[in-house]
Each structure stands twice: as C-alpha cells, then as structure tokens.
Amino acid sequence: MKQYKNLIDGKLVDSKSGRTFENRNPANWDEVVGVFPKSNVEDLNMAIEAAKKAYKKWRAVPWPMRSEIMRKVAQIMIAKKEELSQLMTREMGKVIKETRGDTQEGIDTALYASLEGRKFYGYTLPSELPNKSCMTIREPLGVWSLITPWNFPIAIPTWKIFPCLLSGNTAVVKPATYTPACVGELAQIFKEAGLPDGVLNVVYGSGSEIGEAILNHPDIVGVSFTGSSEIGKRIGEVCGKTLKRCSLELGGKNGQVVLKDANLELALEGILWGAFGTTGQRCTATSRLILEAPIYDKFIDMLKARAEALTLGNGLNEDIDVGPLVSESQRESIHGYVEIGRKEGARMVTGGESYKQGECANGWFYKPTIFVDVLPTMRIAQEEIFGPVLSVIKAKDFNEAMSILNNTVYGLSSAIYTNDLNLAHKAIELTETGIVYINAPTIGAECHLPFGGMKDTGNGHREGGWTAYEIFTEIKTIYIDYSGSLQKAQIDTQG
C-alpha cells in the first residue's frame, strides 16, 4: 500500500494538517489502494503560491518547447499504460478494458498537446485603414484550479492539465476523493518528463474543504470543473462574484432513440455498451432508451436476455463485463432511484438489487437494471442516476421520440439508430445535445473533437480538441500602425 503526498513546488510533502485518508478498492473494500494527505487551506495556499511563482517563467517558455514536455509525458504514459490502467481498476472499479481506454485517452490528449504547440494559430486580418495591420494572439491567464471527478481518473484530468499547461498557465489540481491515486501517478510522470517545479501542483482533500477555499482564492484566475450539476452551479456562483473564468462540464440524462427501421442488433450492442459500460457511471451513459412503438416489445425481450447475461465481478479479470459502483453511498443512491421507479409505477424487468455472490460480497456491485413502461415525466426519466439503471420509454413515432429525447434539463449526448438518411439528418437538427451519434451509442468521445453539453450540462465551453485551448487562453488583439501619422478608425474612413 502506497503513501501518497501532495505535490507542491516540485516536492512531495505531507499535509500541514497531519491528517490522511484511505482510498479503497470498490470491488474489494478490504483492499487499501493508497493513503493520501487530507489537506487543509494552508497546504492549498502553499500550492497556489508555488504555481504563482512558477507562472512567470513558464509562460515565457516557447509553445513548441512546452509541447516537447507533453511529448515526453506521452512517452512515459505509453510505457506505463498497463500499470496505470490496473491501478485505475483497483481505485474505481471499472473493467480493465475500459481503464486501458481511459489511459489511452490521456495518451492521445498528450500527443495532441505535443503537436498543438507548433500550430497554435492566431488570426491576421486586414485593417480598414492603410499602412496598418491587425492580428490576434492567445495568451495564458495565470494560475488555474482543475477540479476533477472520479469516473475518468486519468482521461478527465488530462483533458484539463494538457491544454492548461501547454497554454502557459500553471495549475493546482484537486482530484476526486475516490480516485486520487491516478492523478498522483500522472503528476509524477510530469515531473519525470522534466516539467519545471510549481507548474503542476496536486493537493488532495475533500471538495467541501479544499474546493471552497480554491473558489475564493484571489490568485486563482480560473476554475475548470467536471462533476455534478449541483456543485457546478455552486462553482459558477462563486466564480461569478469574483469574475474568475470557469468552465463547467456537468451531468447528463442521455437518451438512445431506436426507430422502427433501425438495425436492431446494432442498436442492442449500442445500448448494452452505453447503459452498462462503466457500470453506468459515465456523464454520457445512456440512461433512457426511447423505442418506436412497432419494435418496443421485441427490442425489450432482446435487451433483457443480453443484460441478464452480463457478468459482474472484479474488473481486473479480463472476462468481466461490469465492475462495481464506486462506493457504498453511490450504491445506496442508485438503489434509492430503483425504489423511486417502482413507486412511480414503472415495470422492472430485470435487476433492482445488489449483487453479492462469491468474490462480489466484498464490493459495491449492483445488477444491471431495466425499467420499462417508463413515462417521460417520471423522476427515473428525468434525473441523472449515474448507475446501471436504464429507463425504457415508448414513442408513437419519430416526432414523439425526438420530443421525449429533448425533454430533460440536460443536454450532453444522444444516439439515434435509423437507416433512414432523411430522419438521421432531421434528428441531428432537432437534438438539443452537445454531442450526437448516429448509429453509435451515447458514449465514445474522441479526444480531438469538442466535448461538452448544452442546457444544464454546462456553461457553453467545450473540452477536447482545439476548443479546450479556448478555455485556457485569453485573446489579445494587436493593431500595428506603420503610417507614421495618427489614423482614426471609423472617422478617417468616412469620405
């Protein structure tokens, strides 16, 4: 069992508080994965001070040289891919195939950053006046706080860390309490790759204690947050008061629509992966299945059989389909929603209880659960459950399916299965989500494309690809007048 320490100014240090917390394996609660400092505001202040000091030098390092460090990070991550992925499975439970994918997404994001440093374009534009040129460049802002959730312990931190640092900012990362180890290992990799001290700092601790202090710290210029809508709204409120930039990636209530003409076998593979992959603990997980009436009964029969055949167990075993939930409280929360669904009158066709057989007795396993005859207004059709619970809703036709799909406060991801080209295009037009998949499940984002949601899923920013760099940079507009005389825009141009 490893003892982790905060990373502040390039040094591994204990918390000034002297407190620690344990991180346990959700598949086997007896296994302690690591012990971490439970930091206080003093630790945080030291980390912010270090990041502030490092910022002046780091922002002066040319972009291609910063990106060279990102390339080295990528190389070390590639070498450590299996080690990181196994740690991730032990730390948060998802199956090893998926944690390898999570780590790979981090590697891809690092490689993207390693190229972006050589092509970070600005604009050059004509002036309305003669002998004058205009351009824009992008600059870093300063010290950022990156606050991350537990469901993508490598991918999500890397979505933030790489664009943040490559852009010339410095950062203090506050990882989720359930998954601190992966960020700890990642920070070590940055150190190994030669990142200067203080550019990336990691402070472990609880969101309520450290998180709130971050939001209120005057030297933090921006907060990049991925997590629940509840905490996101709180962050937006505090950042609004002090005019800190903040990017919020929040919850989802994603739907998969299957139209009557669709390839049902393909749609079935999609829903199994979308609803029960990562044990339903993805912001993009499929939580609602909207079936067109003529295929409703047939598809439910197909789905029930396949969902019941999924194997539950320790995700380190290559044959397992579904790992545990991240914690006991998460399992209670999911079971609470199952009770709500029952009371609301939805019909449960499978699941609805914890799974405690054999080696699973010691973990937070929950059977894949399917409710049918769900009405769009029910709470299980409206609220984010964040577990392996699927609500199936019947739609009489395409238009009704689309209106059910959009009938949620969230707007992250949606999937439409059809072979009708016209309906596919119409669906793209009507869908109120930041990500739309045609004939593919609601999960499966690629790191070089914009990622984020509409409505209550966020505040308009997009991570991933080039758009992540827009979050972490400020535009500077430059006018160069080489006429040698005072030229007045809008005034001299009028004849």
**Which residues are marked as active site?**
249, 283
Stretch that binds ligand NAP, among 17-25, 162-170, 221-229, 312-320 (CB under 6 A): 221-229
3-state per-residue secondary structure call for 118-158: CCCCCEEEECCCCCEEEEEEEECCCEEEEECCCCCCCHHHH
Angle at 96 between CA 338 and CA 467, to 5 degrees: 85
Stretch that binds ligand NAP, among 83-91, 144-152, 387-395, 397-405 (CB under 6 A): 144-152
State the nearest-atom distance from the C-beta of 127 to ligand NAP, in Å.
40
149/274 with CB nearer ligand NAP:
149
State the nearest-atom distance from the C-beta of 185 to ligand NAP, in Å.
17
From the list 4, 58, 144, 150, which residue makes contact with ligand NAP (rule: CB under 6 A)? 150
User: Quick one: how far is CA 55 from the chain centroid?
Assistant: 26
Stretch that binds ligand NAP, among 74-82, 83-91, 135-143, 231-239 (CB under 6 A): 231-239
**283 to 302: interface string for ligand NAP, x by CB under 6 A:** x-------------------
170/442 with CB nearer ligand NAP:
442
**449 to 468: interface string for ligand NAP, x by CB under 6 A:** ----x---x-----------
- Residue 105 binds ligand NAP (CB under 6 A): no
349/390 with CB nearer ligand NAP:
390
DSSP one-letter string for 440-491: S-S----TTS-B--EETTBSS--BSTTHHHHHT-EEEEEEEE-SSS---TTT
Residues 151-210 that bind ligand NAP (CB under 6 A): 151, 174, 176-177, 206-208
Question: Which neighbouring-strand residues pair with 173?
Answer: 146, 202
253/394 with CB nearer ligand NAP:
253
Phi, psi of 24 (to 5 degrees): -115, 160
CA nearest neighbour of 408 among 235, 232, 285, 251: 251
Stretch that binds ligand NAP, among 57-65, 194-202, 243-251, 436-444 (CB under 6 A): 243-251
Report strand pairing: 286-292 vs 389-395.
Answer: parallel
State the nearest-atom distance from the C-beta of 71 to ligand NAP, in Å.
26
CA nearest neighbour of 453 among 401, 403, 425, 414: 414
Stretch that binds ligand NAP, among 53-61, 65-73, 250-258, 348-356 (CB under 6 A): 250-258
Stretch that binds ligand NAP, among 67-75, 146-154, 263-271, 317-325 (CB under 6 A): 146-154
The answer to whether the CB of 194 falls within 8 A of the CB of 69 is: yes
Residues 350-389 that bind ligand NAP (CB under 6 A): 384, 386
Helix (H, G, I), strand (E, B) or coil at 24: strand
212/344 with CB nearer ligand NAP:
212
Question: What is d(CA 344, CA 265) in angstroms, rounded to the nearest whole number?
Answer: 30
State the nearest-atom distance from the C-beta of 220 to ligand NAP, in Å.
11
Strand locations in 155-313, DSSP E? 170-174, 200-202, 220-226, 245-249, 254-258, 286-292
CA nearest neighbour of 388 among 275, 227, 273, 312: 275
152/417 with CB nearer ligand NAP:
152
Residues 401-440 that bind ligand NAP (CB under 6 A): 412
From the list 147, 172, 295, 443, which residue makes contact with ligand NAP (rule: CB under 6 A)? 147
For residue 226, the one-letter residue type is T
- Residue 252 binds ligand NAP (CB under 6 A): yes
From the list 37, 184, 211, 255, which residue makes contact with ligand NAP (rule: CB under 6 A)? 211
Q: How far is CA 35 from CA 10, 88, 113, in A?
A: 20, 15, 31
Question: What is d(CA 276, CA 285) in angstroms, rounded to the nearest whole number?
Answer: 8
State the nearest-atom distance from the C-beta of 452 to ligand NAP, in Å.
7
Alpha helix (H) residue ranges in 24-80: 41-60, 63-79
Q: How far is CA 470 from CA 14, 215, 430, 456, 462, in A?
A: 35, 21, 27, 20, 8
The answer to whether the CB of 54 falls within 8 A of the CB of 191 is: no
Phi, psi of 28 (to 5 degrees): -155, 95
State the nearest-atom distance from the C-beta of 154 to ligand NAP, in Å.
13
State the nearest-atom distance from the C-beta of 252 to ligand NAP, in Å.
5
**Contact residues for ligand NAP, defined by CB under 6 A:** 147-151, 174, 176-177, 206-208, 211-212, 215, 226-228, 231, 234-235, 249-252, 283, 384, 386, 412, 453, 457
